[in-house]
Amino acid sequence: MFHIVLFQPEIPPNTGNIIRLAANTGCHLHLVKPLGFELDDKRMRRAGLDYHEFSSMQIHESWTSCQQSLAGHRFFAMTTKGSTRHDHIIYEKSDVFVFGPETRGLPEEIRAEFAANRRIRLPMMPDNRSLNLSNAVAITVFEAWRQMDFAGAD
């Protein structure tokens, strides 16, 4: 299934929502350090991260180690600065969706690693900053999964 990469996530409840989303869609979740929170069991439960036992989650020490672990897959940067709408892509079942930190998005040096057609944006009303991270991940994953006819769902 798809891979969701959260580059340096900062807000535990967003990550908790995304863990739950990954568990319920069969996606693999990748978190790239540094994280804005601790991942011990007590803190995870308090932040709503208690679905982690149902999801496939991997922690990466760096962006480079994340890229290496997913070598051979197609990567897409999800960004308000993207030039391609999320619904204009034909997705493949092992695609990788990379999201930046809540307060600043993906850094320019990482966005620059992606070709223009791999920088994806969600449509929004003009002059707004961005959608909530967990909402943006859900919209992206469900569009890609819809294209796969919701494979594996009951």
Query: Binding-site residues for S-adenosyl-L-methionine, please?
Result: 78, 100, 122, 130
Question: Is the dihedral angle over the CA atoms 2, 5, 108, 79 positive or is it negative?
Answer: positive
152/107 Cα distance (integer angstroms): 34
Distance CA 122, CA 115 (A): 17
> 85 - beta bridge partners?
121
Q: Which residues are annotated as a binding site?
A: 78, 100, 122, 130
